[in-house]
């Protein structure tokens, strides 16, 4: 009994819980700090979202105000940039801008600012035809200004314009067609993989990248390339107001500098963007410094960023799923 009491008394003295006294509680301040931190982060996130939304609305308002001002009679030159390899996505964007500016009576001319080696055959051709349509149906002057490169599909587009400017050291031309894909038959053989294909039609599986091309397929694909080449040459001849025979002599796939291209009739004048802008403005009756209008910049959303990331970090399996492609592209 006494031993138990001594032990009990010693336990109380060491900081144990005495009968009848409430248990010690841990301090609450760490939880308060954590809660405040979480709330702070939430407030910051909401603030960032709100600021971004306000800026987006402001940009939209500025763009609307600008277009509204143009509709009140201000003469302007619209500038559309064509940069990098031309894809179907670029076609949709550029054609939309051409349509918008073509319909706006206060836009006196459209200047295509080009710095591109070309791209997809159909994509380049579609922009060319839209340029021609805007010129003919909307009676709008469209001028091309080549910065560093205006080759192949990019030159295809430029040839549809009323006038082409290029710097003396710019690279233009490369009229030709290229078709390519990756053949991975040896890789599949090494991995002991055997493709199985069921089809009907002698050329239905032409271009199968898991096996060598047959002589019949070689002739077939060459005929397609030759046909596209003929379309390219003819459209450039129409745009440059000459005949197919003249362009065919130049359609070797090679490029020329702007200085070389002018006497060949591939461009009209040597000069940079500023020269093209001022001379285009004067040609449509704009005096003084011309007002320049550009499409509002599109801010990529999360989905666009994820799609871009997928393009940067390509799935290795996608390399084995590449079908034949036709390109107006300088490489």
Which are the catalytic amino acids? 152, 204
CA dihedral of residues 164, 167, 170, 176 (deg, nearest 10): 20
203-209 long-range Cβ contacts below 8 angstroms, 24+ apart? 207/181, 207/323, 207/324, 209/181, 209/182, 209/183, 209/184, 209/185, 209/320, 209/322
- What does DSSP assign to residue 258? H
CA distance 109 to 284: 7
- Reported residue count of the chain is 331
The closest alpha carbon to 129, from 118, 116, 117, 142, belongs to: 142
Between CA 227 and CA 218 the distance in angstroms is 14
Burial class (CB in 10 A: 0-12, 13-18, 19+), 198: exposed
Please name every residue paired with 43 in a beta bridge, in sequence order, or none if there are none: none
Burial grade of 107 (CB within 10 A; 0-12, 13-18, 19 or more): buried
Q: Which residues partner with 216 through β-bridges?
A: none
Q: Hey, what are 37's tokens?
A: 């931190």
Reading phi first (left if > 0) and then psi (alpha if -120 to 50, else beta), residue 329 is in: beta
The span from the CA of 155 to the CA of 127, in Å, is 11
């Amino acid at each position: 009994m006494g031993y138990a009491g001594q032990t009990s008394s010693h336990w109380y003295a060491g900081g144990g819980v005495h009968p009848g006294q409430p248990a010690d509680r841990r301090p609450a301040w760490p939880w308060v700090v954590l809660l405040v931190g979480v709330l702070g982060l939430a407030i910051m996130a909401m603030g960032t979202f709100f600021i971004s939304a306000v800026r987006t609305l402001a940009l939209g308002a500025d763009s609307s105000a600008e277009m509204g001002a143009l509709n009140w009679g201000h003469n302007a030159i619209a500038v559309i940039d064509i940069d990098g390899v031309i894809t179907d996505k670029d076609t949709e964007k550029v054609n939309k801008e051409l349509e918008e500016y073509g319909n706006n009576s206060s836009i006196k001319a459209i200047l295509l600012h080009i710095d591109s080696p070309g791209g997809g055959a159909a994509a380049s051709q579609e922009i060319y035809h839209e340029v021609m349509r805007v010129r003919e149906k909307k009676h709008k002057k469209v001028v091309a200004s080549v910065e560093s490169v205006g080759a192949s599909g990019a030159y295809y587009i430029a040839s549809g314009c009323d006038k082409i400017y290029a710097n003396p050291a710019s690279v233009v031309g490369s009229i030709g067609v290229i078709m390519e894909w990756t053949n991975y038959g040896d890789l599949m053989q090494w991995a002991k993989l055997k493709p199985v294909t069921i089809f009907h039609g002698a050329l239905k599986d032409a271009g199968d990248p898991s096996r060598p091309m047959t002589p019949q397929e070689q002739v077939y694909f060459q005929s397609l390339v030759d046909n596209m080449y003929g379309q390219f040459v003819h459209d450039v001849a129409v745009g440059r107001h000459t005949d197919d025979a003249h362009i065919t002599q130049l359609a070797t796939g090679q490029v020329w500098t702007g200085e070389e291209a002018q006497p060949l009739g591939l461009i009209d004048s040597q000069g940079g963007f500023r020269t093209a802008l001022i001379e285009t403005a004067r040609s449509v009756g704009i005096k003084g410094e011309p007002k320049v209008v550009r499409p509002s910049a599109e801010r990529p959303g999360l989905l666009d960023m994820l799609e871009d990331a997928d393009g940067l970090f390509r799935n290795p399996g996608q390399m084995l799923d590449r079908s034949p492609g036709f390109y107006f592209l300088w490489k």
